[in-house]
Amino acid sequence: MPPRTDIDFMHLALAQARAAADSGEVPVGAVIVKSGEVIASGANRPIAQHDPTAHAEILALRRAGEALSDYRLLDTTLYVTLEPCIMCASAIIHARVQRVVFGAWDPKAGAAGSVMNVFTTPQLNHRVDVFGGVLIEECANLLSEFFRARRA
C-alpha cells in the first residue's frame, strides 16, 4: 500500500470533525500520525466534557501521549481541520510535535498566522513545521454549515 498523504490524513481529521458536529460541538477534528500510522485522534468536546480545554488537538495530544507513554511526541504530525488557537499551539510546541497540517484558517482565533503566529516566537526552544490550507474548502464549509444551521 502506498504511503498515505496529507490529504488522506486530513480526511480522517474531517471524520472526527463530523463526529463533533453530530454531537452538537463545533466541528473540529484532529489526528496524530507517527511513522505513517494514526496513533491518536480527537474531536471537539468542550460542551460535553464541561471543559474549555477539550479542543480536538488537546484531546488528540493527550491520547498520543498515552499511546506512546511519553509526553514528548517526537517525530509526529498533527492534522487538524482548523488552524490551532493559542492554547493548542502552545500545547503542540510543548509536546514537541514535529509538524502541523491544518485545513481552514481561523481569522478570529488562529495562532498559526491569522491572528498571531505562536509557532514562530523566537524565544521558544522548539520549532514546528506548519502548513495550512489542506482541504481548506471542505474544512471551512463544514464549519460554515454548522454555524449557519445554529443561527437558523
Tell me which residue of 25, 1, 4, 7 sits closest to 103, measured CA to CA: 7
User: Rounded to a whole number, what is the largest CA-CA distance in the chain?
Assistant: 46
- Distance, CA of 53 to CA of 32 (rounded, Å): 18
Angle at 101 between CA 59 and CA 19, to 5 degrees: 45
Cell of 61: 495530544
Known catalytic residue at 57: yes
Spot the catalytic one: 25, 37, 57, 83: 57
What is the chain's length? 152
Residue positions annotated with a catalytic role: 57
